[in-house]
Amino acid sequence: MDKNLRVINLGISSFYDALISQGVDAAQIDWKPPVKVNVELGAKVDRIMESCFAAKMNQANQDAIDMIINADPEWIGVGLAGDFIEGLDDYTVTHSGPPISFDEMVMLHQRGMVSACLFEGWAKTEEEALALIKSGKIKMISALDTNTVGAGTGIITKNVAMIIIKDRNNGKIAATFPAEGIRFQGGFCGWGLYSPEIAENLYHMRDYLLPPMDRVAKMKGGVPIKPILAESMQMGDENHTRQSAADLLFEHQVLLDMAKIDDMDREQVLASMNYIVETPRFFHCFGQGASRAANLGNVGREYSTMVTAVCGNGVRFGIKIAALGDQWFEADAPYMKGQYTSSKFTIDDQLPWIGDSCVVECAGLGGLAAAASPITCNLRGMTLRESIAQTREMEKICIGKNHNYPIPNLDFDFLPVGIDMMKVIKTGICPCIHGGMFNKEGGLIGAGMARVPMECFEKAFAAYCEKYGL
C-alpha cells in the first residue's frame, strides 16, 4: 500500500482502524446519513411543547421514569403460568408480538399453537390440533396484553412453570418462562417446538428442577434483581443479548443457600444447581420479568408519552404508549442487522423481528445500554466508539437517565431511560433494540440490532393527539 496516502474515513470506524494499523495517515469523521424527520409532525410537537398542556405531559413523564428508576424487582419464587398470568385459562395460548390471527401467523407461531394443543393434551395429533384451532376454541392472546413476556415465539400455556418477579415499588407481578436447559434451550416456549422429549423436559423442570429454586427464593424472602442488573452492567452486560456477568452474580446469590437445603432430596437439589450453572443466559428471564413488572406500573398513566412495550410477531411490529394503555400501534416488522452464525445464512433466511424480549429496552437496557457492553456490539462489527455513540444517540429520545446504572465507558455517566414518543417524532431517531436473529424454519442464526419502525410512533402520536384534542 502507498504509505503517502492521506485518507478521510466517513462513518464506520473499523475502516479507519484498519488503515491506521497499516501505517496510513487517516482521519476519522463520525458521520452517518441524516435521519428522516417528518417536518410537519415535528412542528406539531413543538407547538404542543410550547403549550400549557406540556406541563401535564412533562410531569406524567417524570412520574413514569421514576417508576422505572425506583423499581425494586424481586424474584419471589416459581409457579404455574395459569396461576399467575392474567387471562391464561384453559384452551388459551400466549404468543409474542401484537395480536394476530392464526392464518396470518408465520410458520413458527402456527407450529407453536399446534405444539401448545399437544402439550396440554387438548389434542392427540397435529390434525386434531389444527381442527381445534380452526374451530375457534383456542384463544390466542398477545403475551404483552398480560403480565408476562413472550420471548422468541412466546408460546405459554397454563401448565408451564414460570419465574415469578414482584416489583416491591409498584406491587406488580410479572411471570416469565425460564430457559429450557442446554438441550432444549429454545424448546417449547421460545421456539414453539413440540416432541415427547420436549414435553417431558418441561414436566421435569416443573416437578424436579424448579422446586429447589422455589424453595431457596422463599427461604431468602425473595432475591433482589436490581443489584444484579446494576453490577452486571458495569461488568460488560447490556442485559438483553448478554448476561454473562449477571449469570455469575445470580449464582453467587443462590447456590450456597441451595446447598444448605436439607429437607429435599440431595440429588434433586444438585440437579437444580447444575441446571442453573450449565444453562447459558439463565438470568435473561429475570431481567425481562423485572422490566415488565416496572412498566406495568405505567400502563394507562394519563398524559405520559413514554413507551411501555415494543415487540414483533414476525409479521407486524407493535408499540404501546403509557397514556394510551393497551392500544397497539403497528408497522411491518423490521429485519435485524448483525452477524450470522454461519456464512451460509443471509437475510433471505432471516425472519423479521419476532419476540417480546425488547421489553428490556423499555426499562433502559439492551440497545439503550450499548455502551455498557462493547463486547456484545463488537460481535456485530461495532467498535467501542460506536457502542458509546449508540447510547448517546438513545439519550436524545429518552426522558431522563437512571442513576442506578453508572457505566464505566461513559465515564460513569448514567444510562438513558424512558423512550419518549414525542422525542422520537421530533428527532427522527428510532429506538435501537438488540436481539437474536430467528431462522424462518426455526432456531437462532445470529444476533444483531434493529430499529423500531417510525410508523408505529406516527400512529401513536396521532392517537395521542386525538385523545387529548391536540
Indicate whether 367 and 242 sit together in one domain: no
Distances from the Cα of 457 to the Cα of 232, 314, 427, angstroms = 31, 19, 12
Indicate whether 237 and 373 sit together in one domain: no
Rounded Cα–Cα distance for residues 136 and 396 (Å): 45
67's grid cell:
417508576
Rounded Cα–Cα distance for residues 448 and 100 (Å): 25
Indicate whether 432 and 339 sit together in one domain: yes
**pLDDT of amino acid 1:** 47
User: Where is the domain boundary, 290, 322, 356?
Assistant: 290
Where do runs of H (alpha helix) occur along 25-73?
39-49, 53-69
Rounded Cα–Cα distance for residues 465 and 48 (Å): 9
Indicate whether 441 and 344 sit together in one domain: yes
Q: What is the pTM of this model?
A: 0.90
Give residues with Cβ within 8 angstroms of 432, minimum separation 6: 361, 367, 368, 370, 390, 393, 394, 449, 450, 451
pLDDT in tens, 365-405: 999 999 999 988 887 788 999 999 999 999 999 999 999 99
**pLDDT of amino acid 14:** 56
DSSP states along 403-468: EEEEEGGGTTEEEEEEEBHHHHHHH-PPPEEEEEEEBTTSSEEEEEEEE--HHHHHHHHHHHHHHH
Indicate whether 118 and 223 sit together in one domain: yes
User: Where is the domain boundary, 268, 290, 312?
Assistant: 290
Indicate whether 321 and 267 sit together in one domain: no
**Owner of C-alpha cell 413472550:** 150
**pLDDT of amino acid 445:** 84
**pLDDT of amino acid 52:** 93
Rounded Cα–Cα distance for residues 139 and 456 (Å): 26
**pLDDT of amino acid 33:** 54
Report phi then psi at 278, rounded to 5: -85, -15
- CATH code assigned at 54: 3.90.1700.10
Q: Which domain holds residue 22?
A: 1-33
pLDDT in tens, 90-102: 999 999 999 999 9
Give residues with Cβ within 8 angstroms of 357, minimum separation 6: 149, 151, 152, 240, 284, 288, 435
Indicate whether 224 and 356 sit together in one domain: no
**pLDDT of amino acid 13:** 58
Taking residue 279's Cβ as centre, other Cβ atoms within 10 Å add up to 18
Indicate whether 96 and 138 sit together in one domain: yes
Indicate whether 250 and 305 sit together in one domain: no
Residues of the chain with pLDDT under 50: 1
Indicate whether 366 and 430 sit together in one domain: yes
User: Where is the domain boundary, 267, 290, 313?
Assistant: 290
Indicate whether 238 and 375 sit together in one domain: no
Indicate whether 258 and 363 sit together in one domain: no
Rounded Cα–Cα distance for residues 201 and 184 (Å): 8
Structural domain count, the chain: 3
Rounded Cα–Cα distance for residues 410 and 341 (Å): 30
91's grid cell:
384452551
- CATH code assigned at 164: 3.90.1710.10
